[in-house]
Structures are given as structure tokens and as C-alpha cells.
Structure 1
Amino acid sequence: MPHHPHPHPRPAPLRRPRRGRLLTAVAAASLAVLSAVTPARAADGQITGLAGKCVDVAAASSANGTAVQLYDCNGTAAQRWSNPGDGTLRALGKCLDVVDRGTADGAAVQLWDCSGGTNQQWVVTSAHDIVNPAANKCLDVRDNNPADGTRLQIWSCSGGANQKWNAPASGGGGTTPSGFVVSEAQFNQMFPNRAPFYTYGGLTAALGAYPAFANTGSDTVRKQEAAAFLANVSHETGGLVYVVEQNTANYPHYCDGSRPYGCPAGQAAYYGRGPLQLSWNFNYKAAGDALGIDLLGNPWLVQNDSAVAWKTGLWYWNTQTGPGTTTPHNAMVGGAGFGQTIRSINGSLECDGKNPAQVQSRVDAYQRFARILGVDPGGNLYC
């Protein structure tokens, strides 16, 4: 966060800390929309799509590497799929799998032993897409060919009829008792490489501090806000990989000694931590006061307690305008759009053409997370 020369400003905006390496942008894909061709309604366990045909395991073989194809629906076990709520789609006791963990257009799918790999994770969206989040691509009928035996693959999501499916509803996941619109399975799909510190339980435990978050307006608005928050978090932390700022040379710079309370935890104690990389002594003081936690005296709580870390991110999101004119929460529930959340978090360094690559990274993550939640991302994506 930049130093503010005045003695009593509002807390300075969060700033993405400099790190030893640049974070790569999340791969983008166009938001898939409902096709004019409506796929046939699925019977229990079937996944139906192009020309009303079924996702089928070739020759009903459970051997690893068996092709998965399109075929006339026949009610056999080769076409009976389950969605147990852990992100997998299963038939014949094995998982729908992208061959060789491929992420490129045209990577084929097959049946394979369930391993927990990201190439076996699928999101069935309300828009009838089946998305592999690791590749950010959709399950696709090769060459739009409805013939029996056509191999299935992954391809950039286009909204075409050859990517539209009716699939079994999940047997798990759902919302939490708190009512959060992101299930644990969806959270894990968003952050397949996250640090163990960033737990789903820590996030849901923090929600009570700001009950309006992702709980205001229509179901669409609630999901859009959750996706927007988590997309900015993903950008700031490299996909929930970083708990603390990586450039230790910055650590002594975040103490504003002009504040009357000073830096009781030490000159170098207020470096970036948590999902929105809280930094500077005055931000630790303001967040701690709002949350009823002594973060000025014990800033290490933000890197040692997952719920506290998530609360600091929610504090900024719900209460701070930063270099913008509205809080990120109000930007999303008021219809200003995702671009204004970027402005409120890091607009002074990224918006108005200052760093379009960083803005695009945030937008890409938002579009991907919106797809996982099955919601249109809306307009005004850029700042």
C-alpha cells in the first residue's frame, strides 16, 4: 500500500506487493451461453447432448484409457454417470479424465482410475456446460459430429450445441449451512493449487463478520459478488498460493512512524498478508479495530489464523474504497461492475491503461469463477 503523507487519512488502498516473479494470468475463455439447440433431457445417470445422444464409454470397458464417445442412448452401464459432489464424473467405477492432463484444444477424454487430479475435475454449470477448470475448457463433441462413436474432447467454450449437456445433479457440494453461494467443491475447483492455510472452513467462518457479503440482492448478484471477490483474491495471491508477501526487502517499508500508535510489533512487521495482502501499520490498526482483534500488536495472526486472514480481506472488500469511489461490495451489488472492484483495490497502479495485463488477469479469473458458479459475469468488466 502506498505511503500517505497526511496524518489522519482513511486507510490507504491495498496494493499488490512486488514479488520475485510475476503471476501468470489465468487462461481466458469466452463465457458460454445457452445454445438455441436445447439438448435432450437426461434420464437418471445419463449425460445427453448433441442430437439427443449420450456420453458413452466405448465397448462398456472399464480399462484405463478407454475412449469416451457420443452414442445412441441405450440405458447400459456404459452410459450411467454419477456426480458425487467431489468434482468428478464417474462411470463403471472410474473417472472422466483428460488424456495426459492436457489443457489444449482437442485434448481427448477417456476413462481412468480416479486420482484426484485436476484433469478429472468437472463443473456442470447452469448454462449446461461441463467445464474442466484446470484447462478452462468445455467438454466438446469433436467436429460437431453427431455420429455414433465420435470421440469427446475439451475445447475452448463457445456456447455451441456440441458443448451443451444435461448431466446428473451433484450428490454433494451444495451451499454450506451459512448459505454461502460457493460450495466447497467449487472452491476447490477455483483453487486447485491453494496453500493448505487458505481453508474453505476459514472463509465460511469469516462470513459472519460481514453478513451482507455475497448475501445481498438476487441469486445472480450474490454469485457475481462471490466470484468477483475470489477473482481479486486469486490475482493477489497467485491462486491462494501466497500467504505472505514474497519480497522480504519490502517488509521494513510498511511502517508509518507518524501515526500516534506507531509500529509496536516492529518496523518490519506489517508486510502483506492474507487473501488481499493486508499491509501497512495503519491498515492493520483499522482492520483490527473493525474486527475487534489486536492486529496492530499481533499482525502475525493474519498469517497464522485462516479465519482472521479471510476477515481482513472481507473487511477491505466491504468497507474500503481505496483509490476508487465505492467499496468493492457496493460496486457489485449496485451494478457498477467488476471493473470498479479493481479500481478500489489497485486502481492507482492498474486502471486507466496503467497496467492492462494485470487488469486482464483479474478479469480472466472473474470470468472463469463466474462460469464455475453458473452465472453471467455481467458488464463493465474493465476499469
Structure 2
Amino acid sequence: MSRLRALAALAALTLTGALLAVIPSTAASAAACATPWQSAAVYTSGMQVSHNGRNYQAKWWTQSEAPPGTTGVWQDLGACGGSTPPPPDGTCNHPNWIAGTWYPAGSIVRYTNGQYYIAEHDNPGYDPIISTWYWNPYTCSGTPPTSSPPPTNPGGFVVSEAQFRQMFPNRNSFYTYSGLINALNAYPAFARTGSATVQRQEAAAFLANVYHETGGLVHIVEQNTANYPHYCDSGQPYGCPAGQAAYYGRGPIQLSWNFNYNAAGAALGLPLLTNPWLVQNDAAVAWKTAIWYWMTQHGPGTMTAHNAMVTGAGFGQTIRSINGSIECNGGNPAQVQSRVTRYQQFVGILGVPAGANLYC
């Protein structure tokens, strides 16, 4: 009997061991994902994050080093969320996209059109249907949904109207996208020279400078009215037929001085010397004067802003061509930084790198 009891006990232990061996593998599943890692956040010892489908724990203070990192600060806790079965009918259950929210790569959101998108690159809440470099369509099966190709942008411009709206969310209604498109035929080489990347870089550079000059396309005319009488160079043979104080800054580049109105008018076939108010009353004219300056004038610089971008001289040279005598060479680094920051934002929206030589 004792031998039978021993065999029974051994069998029970063996069965229990087998069950124990089976139970963990059945119950084992990836842990829930911790809060997604954010480059701007500060993490201290013991704090946990998720990144690219894995959980990590900080060993000491860290910031900006994405897990798994190279310094050893992140302890890999294993895969997360991987064993969660997909919804039964193939539908998704992900949070709604919120503009301005930081989304690390791998984030999945539901957009306002009811479709889902996955972040291909970390981004500060760019619009999924505009910033296609940052977002891709997503289904729960991981298969991108079929969709018709986006419509060709009017005039062949590399910036779509949706991207334009994203760049200038608070713009004055005077500055229409259609006005910009109508102005493109004045200089066909604008944002159409070089590779697709160069074309987008030039468009971003132009619009970044425009943003800076007008406070985000808010101001149509120069705000300091005390300057108005100063823009008449009476030494010019044609003088100031529209009046002493008529040639103040207007439009996206804030065109000013009677000699600039005269030159722009001659180039564009418009009576700007005698009727400078056209620039503040006609959106297409306003955009044309800005593109005229960009394409043909080098100001205090040594090259046009257009040539700076298509030859690889860099964004910094566009600043020099527009206001380099005041801002460059340490003249006003805050203003230079403002332009550079905006340019970096705009190339991000267009999905291209910023390139070299950003400063002047």
C-alpha cells in the first residue's frame, strides 16, 4: 500500500507539475503598454514608458533619449500589448486624434473622417490627412485601406490647400490660397526648380519668411504708420506720384519704397507706382509682388532667395536677402531663430528635410 501511495503521490506531483508548466504559457501575454515615451518629457529612476511595442523602465534621470537608447538608461521590460486579440469584426478601437497632442511613432488614432491612421514618425499632432510623411492609413489588420489618390494640387504647386491652411490657421481672409495659385504663373520657376525635395524646401522657405513678415499672414499693411512718409525716395526720376506716404509695406513680403513698387510694377505689368493700393486690395497682386521679390531681388544679400534654395546655399541666405542687414551676423538672432523655427515646421508639414545652412 505504501508503494501504491508513493506512486499515486508521484503521479499527482507529475500532473501538478505538468499543469504548472502549461498554465504560465497559456496565461502568458504581453503586458499592457505604459504611457508612450515623449522626447520632451523628463524621466527619473523607476518610471516606465512604452515605445515601438515594448515597455521600458528608466534607471536614472533621462530626457530625449528614445528607448532602448545607447547609454543603458532604459531597462527593456519586454513586449507590450502584443497578445491583445483584434476586435472581433475587424473594427478598431483607438482614441480620437487631437491636434497639438504629442504622438510618438506607432500611435494609432481615429481621425474626424472616421478612418484610422498610424504615426510613422514622432510628431506634435500634425493633421493625418495633411502630413502624410508622419501618418499612414491604418486598419486593425494592419493592411492600409484602399483609397483614391489625392487630387493634383492646383497650378502644380507643391503645397496643397490643406497644408496651406495648416501653416496659416489664423490668416487674414485676404490672403487666399487661390490668390497664391493665381500668382504662380508670373514666375513659373518658383517652387518648380530642381528635385521634388528642393521644390518643397523652396516653398517652405518662402512661406516661412512670409509668415514672419506678416505675423502668420495676419497683417496686410505695415502696422507702424509713423514709417509711412519715410518710404518715398524723392531722388528717383519718377518721384512719388501716389503721394509722399503711399509706399508703405504691403502684402506677404511687405513691399515698401517707391523704387520697389516701380520695379515690381514694371516686371509684373501693373501700375504699382501710381496705384500701390493694388497690393492691399488684390490677393493675386499681393502674392505676385512677394514672388517677384523672392525670384528677382537679392536685397542686402548676394543672391536671390530663389537661387539660395535651388543651389543649396540654404535657408540662411534667404534671410540675408530679405532682411540680412538688420538680422544677420548677430544683428538680431531672435528674429533669425523665429524664421528658422517656422521653416523647420513647414518642411515637416511637407515631409522633407530642412537641409544645411539654416542661419545667416
TM-score range, shorter chain: 0.5 to 0.7
More helix by share: 2
The aligned counterpart of 1:281 is 258
Report the CA distance between 1:109 and its aligned residue: 10
Structure 2: state its 5+ residue gaps.
1-38, 40-50, 55-80, 139-143
Report the CA distance between 1:79 and its aligned residue: 2.1
The aligned counterpart of 2:53 is 51
Larger RCO, structure (CA 8 Å, separation 6 or more): 1
- The residue type equivalent to 2:195 in the other structure is S
Query: Any conservation in 2 of the 1:133–1:190 contact (CA below 8 Å)?
Result: no
Provide, for residues 293-320 of structure 1, a one-character-per-residue CA deviation record: whole Å limited to 9, x for no partner: 0000110010000000000000000000
CA distance in 1, matches of 2:137, 2:110: 19
- The residue type equivalent to 2:97 in the other structure is L
Q: Is 1:308 paired with 2:285?
A: yes
1:264 equivalent among 241, 245, 255: 241
CA distance in 2, matches of 1:299, 1:251: 13
What SS does structure 2 have at the residue aligned with 1:240? coil
The aligned counterpart of 2:97 is 96
Report the CA distance between 1:264 and its aligned residue: 0.9
1:231 equivalent among 204, 208, 215: 208
- The residue type equivalent to 1:263 in the other structure is C
Provide, for residues 156-197 of structure 1, a one-character-per-residue CA deviation record: whole Å limited to 9, x for no partner: xxx9xxx98665688686542311100000000000000001
The aligned counterpart of 1:335 is 312
Q: Is 1:243 paired with 2:245?
A: no
Q: Higher Cα Rg: structure 1 or 2?
A: 2
Percent identity, aligned pairs only, is 64
CA distance in 2, matches of 1:244, 1:298: 15
CA distance in 2, matches of 1:50, 1:164: 15
- The residue type equivalent to 1:132 in the other structure is G
1:346 equivalent among 310, 313, 323: 323
The count of residues paired between Structure 1 and Structure 2 equals 272
Which consecutive aligned stretches of 4+ in structure 1 deviate over 3 angstroms post-superposition? 49-52, 69-78, 102-106, 108-114, 122-125, 127-131, 163-175
Query: Any conservation in 2 of the 1:175–1:181 contact (CA below 8 Å)?
Result: no
Report the CA distance between 1:380 and its aligned residue: 0.4
2:125 equivalent among 132, 135, 141: 132
Provide, for residues 107-158 of structure 1, a one-character-per-residue CA deviation record: whole Å limited to 9, x for no partner: x9987989xxxxxxx9999x64554259xxx9xxxxxxxxxxxxxxxxxxxx
- The residue type equivalent to 1:79 in the other structure is C
> Does the C-alpha gap of structure 1 residues 74 and 310 become closer, same or farther in structure 2, counting only changes over 3 Å?
same
CA distance in 2, matches of 1:273, 1:97: 36
Query: Any conservation in 2 of the 1:275–1:309 contact (CA below 8 Å)?
Result: yes
> Does the C-alpha gap of structure 1 residues 164 and 283 become closer, same or farther in structure 2, counting only changes over 3 Å?
closer
What SS does structure 2 have at the residue aligned with 1:315? helix
The aligned counterpart of 1:56 is none
What SS does structure 1 have at the residue aligned with 2:219? coil
The aligned counterpart of 2:231 is 254
The aligned counterpart of 1:79 is 92
Structure 1: state its 5+ residue gaps.
1-29, 31-48, 53-68, 82-90, 115-121, 139-158
